[in-house]
Amino acid sequence: MESLFGDQDFLEKSSGNNFADIVLPVPIPRMFTYKIPPLLKPQIQIGQRVIVQFGKKKVLTGIIGKVHNKPPQAYEAKPILDILDDQPSVNPLQIRFWVWMAEYYFCHIGEVMFAALPSGLRLSSESKIQLNPNFDPETNKYPLDVREEKILEALENKPELSYEDCEKILGIKSVHPILKSLVAKEAILIFEKVQEKYTPKVETRVRLLPEIAADKNAIQAVFEAVQGKAKQESILLKFLRDVPVFQNPKLNERGIDKASLLEEGDSESSLKTLIKNGVFESFKHVVNRIEDEKAVREAYELSSSQQTALGEIKTHFETKQTVLLHGVTGSGKTEIYIKLIQEVLDSGSQVLMLLPEIALTTQIVGRLRQVFGSQMGVYHSKYSDNERVEVWNGVISGRFSFVVGVRSSIFLPFDSLGLIIVDEEHEPSYKQFDPAPRFHARDAAIMLAYFHQARTLLGSATPSFESYYNAAQGKYGLTEISHRFGDAHLPEYQLADLSADRKKNLLKLDSTRMMREKIQAALDRQEQVIIFQNRRGYSPYVQCEDCGWTGDCVQCDVSLTYHQFAEELRCHYCGYKEKIPQSCPACGSSQLSTQGMGTERIEESLSLLFPEARMGRMDLDTTRNKYGYQRLLDEFGAGQIDILVGTQMITKGLDFGKVTVVGIWDGDRILNFPDFRAGERAYQQITQVAGRAGRRDVKGQVVIQSRNPDNELFERVIRGEYYEFFRQEMIERKKFYYPPYVKLVKITTRHADFKVSEKAAHALHREMANIPVKKIVLGPEKGIIARIKNQYQFESMIKLDRSGDTQATFKESLGKILEELQSRPEFRSVRWVVDVDPS
Ligand code: ADP
Ligand code: ZN
Ligand code: ZN
Is the distance from the beta carbon of residue 459 to the nearest atom of ligand 1 less than 6 Å?
A: no
Q: Which residues of 181-204 are buried (b: 16+ CB within 10 A; e: fewer)?
A: bbbebbbbbbbbbbeeebeeeeee
pLDDT in tens, 581-605: 888 888 888 888 776 557 888 998 9
Any idea which of 304-313, 398-407, 471-480, 704-713 has the lowest mean pLDDT?
704-713
Output the CA 588–ligand 2 centroid distance in Å: 6
**Nearest ligand for residue 558 CA:** 3
* Pair 45, 64: CB distance under 8 Å: yes
**Nearest ligand for residue 547 CA:** 2
Is the distance from the beta carbon of residue 656 to the nearest atom of ligand 1 less than 6 Å?
A: no
Q: Residue 302: pLDDT band by 50, 70, 90 thresholds?
A: very high
Residue 624 pLDDT greater than 80, yes or no = no
Residue 195 pLDDT greater than 60, yes or no = no
Q: What is the pLDDT of residue 759?
A: 97
The three-state secondary structure class of 655 is coil
Output the CA 559–ligand 3 centroid distance in Å: 9
Is the distance from the beta carbon of residue 332 to the nearest atom of ligand 1 less than 6 Å?
A: yes
Q: Is the pTM of this model over 0.85?
A: no
Task: Report the distance separating Cα 225 and Cα 280, nearest Å.
Answer: 14
Which whole number is the average pLDDT over 508-515? 94
Which whole number is the average pLDDT over 718-741? 92
Output the CA 335–ligand 1 centroid distance in Å: 6
* Pair 576, 554: CB distance under 8 Å: yes
Task: Report the distance separating Cα 244 and Cα 249, nearest Å.
Answer: 8
Q: What is the pLDDT of residue 837?
A: 95
Residue with CA closest to ligand 1 atom 6: 332
Best of 335, 337, 353, 462 for a ligand 1 pocket test (most atoms within 8 Å of beta carbon): 335
Task: Report the distance separating Cα 29 and Cα 85, nearest Å.
Answer: 25
Residue 673 pLDDT greater than 70, yes or no = no
Task: Report the distance separating Cα 377 and Cα 379, nearest Å.
Answer: 7
Is the distance from the beta carbon of residue 757 to the nearest atom of ligand 1 less than 6 Å?
A: no
Residue with CA closest to ligand 1 atom 26: 300
Q: What is the pLDDT of residue 10?
A: 44
Task: Report the distance separating Cα 488 and Cα 481, nearest Å.
Answer: 14
Q: Let me know the angle formed at the C-alpha of 568 by 563 and 570, rounded to the nearest 5 degrees.
A: 75
Output the CA 549–ligand 2 centroid distance in Å: 5
Q: What is the pLDDT of residue 220?
A: 87
From the list 94, 268, 287, the residue with the least C-alpha distance to 203 is 287
Output the CA 597–ligand 3 centroid distance in Å: 21
Closest ligand 1 atom number to CA of residue 486? 12
Closest ligand 1 atom number to CA of residue 691? 4
Is the distance from the beta carbon of residue 485 to the nearest atom of ligand 1 less than 6 Å?
A: yes
Residue with CA closest to ligand 1 atom 25: 300
Higher-confidence residue of 154 and 199: namely 154
Q: What is the pLDDT of residue 28?
A: 77
Instruction: Kindly state the percentage of the chain with pLDDT values over 70.
Output: 91
Any idea which of 36-50, 166-180, 499-513 has the lowest mean pLDDT?
166-180
The three-state secondary structure class of 207 is strand
**Nearest ligand for residue 557 CA:** 3
Output the CA 587–ligand 2 centroid distance in Å: 4
Output the CA 657–ligand 1 centroid distance in Å: 11
Output the CA 655–ligand 1 centroid distance in Å: 9
Residue with CA closest to ligand 1 atom 27: 332
Any idea which of 73-87, 254-268, 632-646 has the lowest mean pLDDT?
254-268
Any idea which of 268-272, 303-307, 347-351, 598-602 has the lowest mean pLDDT?
598-602
**Nearest ligand for residue 552 CA:** 3
Cβ atoms within 10 Å, residue 320: 18
CA atoms within 13 Å, Cβ hemisphere of 189 = 21
Output the CA 570–ligand 3 centroid distance in Å: 8
pLDDT in tens, 267-290: 788 889 999 999 999 888 877 666
Burial of 113 (0-12, 13-18, 19+ CB in 10 A): buried
Instruction: Kindly state the percentage of the chain with pLDDT values over 90.
Output: 47
H/E segment holding residue 690: helix 678-690
Residue 365 pLDDT greater than 70, yes or no = yes
Is the distance from the beta carbon of residue 694 to the nearest atom of ligand 1 less than 6 Å?
A: no
Q: Which residues of 619-652 are buried (b: 16+ CB within 10 A; e: fewer)?
A: bebbbeeeeebeebbeebbeeebbbbbbbbbbbb
Region of residue 432 (left: phi > 0; alpha: psi -120 to 50; beta: else): beta
Task: Report the distance separating Cα 830 and Cα 748, nearest Å.
Answer: 10
Output the CA 749–ligand 1 centroid distance in Å: 48
Closest ligand 1 atom number to CA of residue 306? 23
Which domains can be identified in the chain, with CATH numbers?
A: 19-117 (3.40.1440.60), 125-196 (1.10.10), 202-287 (no CATH), 304-481 (3.40.50.300), 492-536+611-729 (3.40.50.300), 540-595 (no CATH), 742-836 (3.30.70.600)
**Nearest ligand for residue 332 CA:** 1
Cβ atoms within 10 Å, residue 381: 12
Best of 306, 308, 334 for a ligand 1 pocket test (most atoms within 8 Å of beta carbon): 334
Output the CA 332–ligand 1 centroid distance in Å: 4
Which amino acid appears at position 813 of this protein?
S
Is the distance from the beta carbon of residue 528 to the nearest atom of ligand 1 less than 6 Å?
A: no
Best of 303, 313, 655 for a ligand 1 pocket test (most atoms within 8 Å of beta carbon): 655
The mean predicted confidence, pLDDT, of the chain is 86
Residue with CA closest to ligand 1 atom 15: 332
**Nearest ligand for residue 592 CA:** 2
Residue 384 pLDDT greater than 80, yes or no = no
Q: What is the pLDDT of residue 233?
A: 87
Task: Report the distance separating Cα 115 and Cα 105, nearest Å.
Answer: 13
Output the CA 551–ligand 3 centroid distance in Å: 11
Best of 485, 652, 684, 692 for a ligand 1 pocket test (most atoms within 8 Å of beta carbon): 485
128 beta partners = 162, 191
Task: Report the distance separating Cα 606 and Cα 434, nearest Å.
Answer: 37
Is the distance from the beta carbon of residue 462 to the nearest atom of ligand 1 less than 6 Å?
A: no
Q: What is the pLDDT of residue 127?
A: 66
Closest ligand 1 atom number to CA of residue 327? 3
Closest ligand 1 atom number to CA of residue 333? 3
Closest ligand 1 atom number to CA of residue 301? 23
Which whole number is the average pLDDT over 715-733? 92
Task: Report the distance separating Cα 602 and Cα 780, nearest Å.
Answer: 40
Is the distance from the beta carbon of residue 110 to the nearest atom of ligand 1 less than 6 Å?
A: no
Q: What is the pLDDT of residue 1?
A: 36
Q: Which segments are annotated as binding site for Zn(2+)?
A: 544, 547, 553, 556, 571, 574, 584, 587
**Nearest ligand for residue 335 CA:** 1
pLDDT in tens, 549-579: 888 888 877 778 887 667 788 887 777 888 8
Q: Residue 537: pLDDT band by 50, 70, 90 thresholds?
A: very low
Is the distance from the beta carbon of residue 424 to the nearest atom of ligand 1 less than 6 Å?
A: no
Residue with CA closest to ligand 1 atom 10: 330
Output the CA 484–ligand 1 centroid distance in Å: 8
Is the distance from the beta carbon of residue 423 to the nearest atom of ligand 1 less than 6 Å?
A: no
Output the CA 488–ligand 1 centroid distance in Å: 10
